[in-house]
Structure 1
Amino acid sequence: MAHAFRVFFLFAAVDAIIAVGLWLPKLLDIATGDVAGVPLAVWHRDELLFGMMPAVLAGFVLTALPRWTRRPPVTPTTLMALAVLWVAGRVAHALPGESLHAQAWAPGVAAVFVMTLALVTARQVLASRAWRESKIVLLLAGFAVAAGFASLHPGGATKETAMRLGLASVLGLVVVLGGRIAPALTAAWLKARGESPPDPRRRWIETTAALAVAAALCAWVIAPKAGVTAVASACAFIVQTERLARWQGWRVSDSASILALHAAYGWIPVGFALHAAAIVWPSFVSEAAAVHAWALGAIGLMSIAVMASMIRRHSHTPFVFSALTSASLFCAAIAVPARTVAEVASNGRTFWLLLSATSWIAAFLLFLLAFRDPLLRRATWREV
């Protein structure tokens, strides 16, 4: 049976290109700012959060589950049902619908999709007693709840809270999964070169980092402009920076793919720092700067790096150099600071937005080109 990543990583990359690509006509002043009767800024945000991200998560989690739980992979029927459900959500989001009722369909389908993914994961975790993966189940369930609230309350402050909950749940997954993948691949790379890997596992650091992130994200979801949220974000910035430094990412500078994992994770503490600054100095830094640091950096760049890593793992070429993959990661890395600068620059906002959008699109196009064979199941890549 084909691995789940073949279907969902392809979906995720195509969706990422479309969601951002629709910005280009507006930035070039050759089209209006609405998609399917919805303001482009809202449609674009919802598409990335409820379209691209569920696809990335489904591809990664369903492929990794057999290794985590020592149980068989999901059946072809389950995989097909999830794929059809994901496509249905994207179709619902593309259909014209100016009413709030019509706008509720896409997040509603996303809620069903992510909750189904959470239930499939929970079933495997319970059957194998792989309690370590319970965090993944809880965060997926939180993401599904966020999509559900966005569907039930498609307008107003409740939807904004739901969107923050959805992004916070995905960030939590990045902290958990990225916190495993980046140090593990760093250690493997260094061992392959005959070097001693770092020992990043300090229980107090891991516990403190988890608590700090949980507190800061909960505060952001509930009271994004409160003073206590600024303090929580500042604490999360400090502890997450310390956690990242213990992985010694500078030692893998020769591997673009592994270095990108460290760079992507680095946008998590940067986002917390920007959010704390946005509360203290709102005239200088906007909350949108923090949101885009998390969305494009921690999530977007991490998605490409993790997808590339998983595909290479299953092709038995984990550390082989690829110019296309390196170029993809480089473009994704450019998109993040360019989008962040656009939120704080007093002049040239359109230039920075265009640079960010074109870099993002180029990153995913290059990703598709680099991994066209495994994603399209050509014979040059054998099944594993």
Structure 2
Amino acid sequence: MSTSQSARFESLSGTLDVLSDEGFRLFFPLAALHAALWPFLWAVIYGFNLPLATEIPPGLWHVHELIIGSFGAALIGFITTAVPEWTDTPRLRGRALFVFAGLWGFPRIAGLVGLESLGPIAAVCDLAWLALLVAYLVQISLGKQSTRLIGFVFWIASLFLAEAVTRYAFLDIANRMELAQRASHLAGFIFLGILGIALARITVPVTNLVLDRTQETSPFRPHPGRMNLAPGLVAVLIGAEVLGLSQQTTGYLFIAAGAAFMDRVAEAFIGKEIVRAEILALAGSSAFAGIGLILIGATHLGAPIPELAGLHVALMGGLGLGVLTVFAIAGLRHTGQALGLVRQTRAAMLFLLAAMVVRVLPEIWPTDLLSSPPYALVSLLWAAAFLLWVKVYWPFIRDRSTFQHDGC
């Protein structure tokens, strides 16, 4: 091995060592890159097809890969970073994180090109990392004799079941198309439930830090009724969907869950500090999740709005902005940086919201200028949002000197 090759190997080895020190360092960049590149390949390069897909519709691959792929990696990074901090337990690092990365990464190979022959192995891998996350949370809960993580156990176990049903449907998609679509959409709603309990945990310390940088006081006290109302109502509507209740019944439940997310927006009214990007982003995540659910409810009640429009508002605007906000805030706090989003990070959030608006506006309010969604532009704006985050945060994510574990 030459000197230059040896130097490159040592540099790569050092980078991997840093990335495997804490979950967010490895999985947030993986999630961002997957979220940026996969939709672009699907919409722009592949022309809404997948090179090797023969039976499973590319649209189902699209939903599955964004939810289980992009948002799934974000979930792994969030849980393996936040839970040790919340419970004062040793964090997963090194080999354990690479096991999660391998189990998550192999199915993404199949999803990248629609390689259906790898479906059974990919299914086992996706179900395995979800099961390991549940086991990890249960182990800590039992060890600490605490119920603080029960909400996450419930929602991730629910995601496991939704993924199991989706993969089962994929095995005979010709006869189980409707089941695959319903299970994939339920997985998206489950992620909104996870978003609800995550925002309840994140908003309080971030708001208090904005109000008092010294952290000597905690002036912000959320209303207890808001903590679990939104995810609770999402659970109710998921139950109604699973039981096959009427469109009218589920319509009202979607509106109720959306209203609960909108109620969370009230927590942003903290005085002049409401203009801080961190506060607006957290509130915006709740707002778009709520608006999307309300639009879906209106569709169920007969409004002439495609259900996909509401679904994209909730998942692209609500969940997407929530994920990007977690990336931005945790990326600062867990690398010892001061709280405060730079201009490029704020621009990334605006790109993401622009992608959502351009995607859904022609379906809600079609015009001669924009009669259908310009999918190439949507994918470019969406990709720009996550790639810009990577550009800003990668230098100190991979920097060993940023090992600061005081957290968020």
Under a length normalisation based on structure 1, what TM-score does the superposition of the two structures give?
A: 0.89
Q: Deviations over 1:132-186 (max 9, x none)?
A: 1111011111111111111112122221222133112211110000122124312
Q: Does residue 1:371 correspond to 2:399, yes or no?
A: no
Shift in alpha-carbon separation, 1:250–1:288, aligned structure 2, 3 A: farther
Aligned to 2:25: 6
Q: 1:291 aligns with which of 311, 316, 329?
A: 311
Query: Which segment drifts farther, 31-40 or 49-58?
Result: 31-40
1:256 is aligned to 2:277: yes
Match of 2:136 among 120, 131, 141: 120
Matched residue, 1:361: 383
SS at match of 2:194: helix
Q: CA 1:198 to 1:355, structure 2 compared with 1: closer, same or farther past 3 Å?
A: farther
Aligned-partner residue type, residue 208 of structure 2: A
Render the CA deviation track for 1:192-246: whole Å, top value 9, x for unaligned: 399994432233x445444333212332454486110111122223333223213
Instruction: Encode CA deviations 1:104-141: one digit per residue, 9 max, x unaligned.
Output: 54344212111111111221122112311111011111
Q: Indicate which of 332, 336, 342 corresponds to 1:316.
A: 336
What's the secondary structure of 1:34's corresponding residue? coil
User: Does structure 2 retain, via aligned residues, the 8 Å contact 1:186–1:252?
Assistant: no
Alignment partner, residue 89 of structure 1 = 107
Is it true that 1:62 corresponds to 2:80 in the alignment? yes
Superposition pairs of residues 75-154 of structure 1, within 5 angstroms: 75-94=93-112, 97=115, 102-154=118-170
How far apart in 2 are the matches of 1:325 and 1:185?
Answer: 17
- What letter matches 1:175 in structure 2? G
Structure 2 unpaired stretches of 5+: 1-19
Q: Flag the 1:251–1:132 CA change in 2: closer, same or farther, 3 A.
A: farther
Q: Specify the code of the residue in structure 1 equivalent to 2:133.
A: L
| Alpha-carbon distance in structure 2 between the residues aligned to 1:237 and 1:82 | 33
Cα distance 1:250–1:369, how it changes in 2: closer, same or farther (>3 A)?
farther
Picking from 175, 189, 205, the partner of 1:168 is 189
The equivalent of 2:327 in structure 1 is 307
Match of 1:20 among 15, 39, 58: 39
Describe the shift of the 1:350–1:33 C-alpha distance in structure 2 as closer, same or farther (beyond 3 A).
farther
CA contact (8 A) 1:88 1:109 kept: yes
Deviation at 1:190, TM superposition (A): 1.7
Displacement of 1:250 in angstroms is 7.2
Is the radius of gyration larger for structure 1 or structure 2?
2
Within 1, Cα distance between the matches of 2:124 and 2:362? 32
Given that residues 373 and 381 in structure 1 are in contact (C-alpha distance below 8 angstroms), is that contact kept between their aligned partners in structure 2? no
2:263 aligned partner: 242
User: Using a 3 Å threshold, how does the CA distance of structure 1 residues 323 and 239 change in structure 2: closer, same or farther?
Assistant: closer
Paired letter, 1:226: Q
1:286 offset after TM fit, Å? 1.1
AA of the residue aligned to 2:110: A
CA displacement at 1:351 relative to structure 2: 5.0
Q: TM-score, normalised by structure 2?
A: 0.84
Q: 2 CA distance for matches of 1:321 and 1:261? A: 13
Between stretches 158-167 and 194-203, larger displacement belongs to 194-203
Mean Cα deviation higher: 217-226 or 105-114: 217-226
Give the distance between the partners of 1:13 and 1:41, measured in 2 at CA: 21
Aligned residue pairs total: 376
Picking from 29, 49, 71, the partner of 2:67 is 49
Rounded Cα–Cα distance in structure 2 between residues aligned with 1:31 and 1:352? 12
RMSD: 2.6
Note the C-alpha offset of 1:102: 4.8
Question: Deviation string for 1:296-338 (max 9, x for gaps)?
Answer: 0121111110011111111222423412211111111222222
Specify every segment of 5 or more residues in structure 1 that has no aligned partner in the other structure, as ranges: none
In percent, how many aligned pairs have the same letter?
Answer: 24
Q: How much has 1:35 moved relative to structure 2?
A: 4.1
Alignment pair present for 1:71 and 2:92: no
Given that residues 23 and 93 in structure 2 are in contact (C-alpha distance below 8 angstroms), is that contact kept between their aligned partners in structure 1?
A: no
Q: Structure 1 residues 349-358 or 318-327, which shifts more?
A: 349-358
Distance 1:193 1:286, change over 3 A: farther
- CA pair 250-340 structure 1, distance change in 2 beyond 3 A: farther
Partner of 1:328: 348
Amino acid at match of 1:233: F
